[in-house]
Amino acid sequence: MEGKTIEELLKEVGENSPFKISKHLGVHVEYKDILGDVVGMYIPGKVSIFFINSSEEYEVQEKVCFQLLAKFIGNKELSSCITKQDILHMDRSHQILTRMKNFILNTKFAPLIVGMTINK
């Protein structure tokens, strides 16, 4: 499993589910009522566990799990913490990138852009 991207893992699992990918990688997902603005965290240890705030809506929990997965795949030994502000920032960045992509694709430069993708 070393060196695989989330996209490769999605193909292996066959579903766009961060929870199933986590299970596929042997990562346990625990739902806890986490205080403050924290919506998820990972602390390295003998067992890999993602802690996701149980009081958040499913859509937020899914985004948090994807972000924890990305950080986990990048470096399993590094602790990660995701806040509500991080989720808002990610959503805003995705909106901006989508608008930029749509703008560029409607210009004469579209044929010059190769491999520009933004996942929904």
pLDDT in tens, the chain (120 residues): 457 777 788 888 888 899 999 999 999 999 999 878 999 999 888 999 999 999 999 999 999 999 999 889 888 899 999 999 998 888 788 778 878 777 777 777 666 665 555 554
> First CA to last CA across the chain, in angstroms?
25
| H or E element in which residue 28 lies | strand 28-32
The whole-model pTM stands at 0.74
**For the chain, which residues make up each domain, given as ranges?**
6-112
Give the Cβ contact number of residue 65 at 10 Å: 23
At 99 the pLDDT is 81
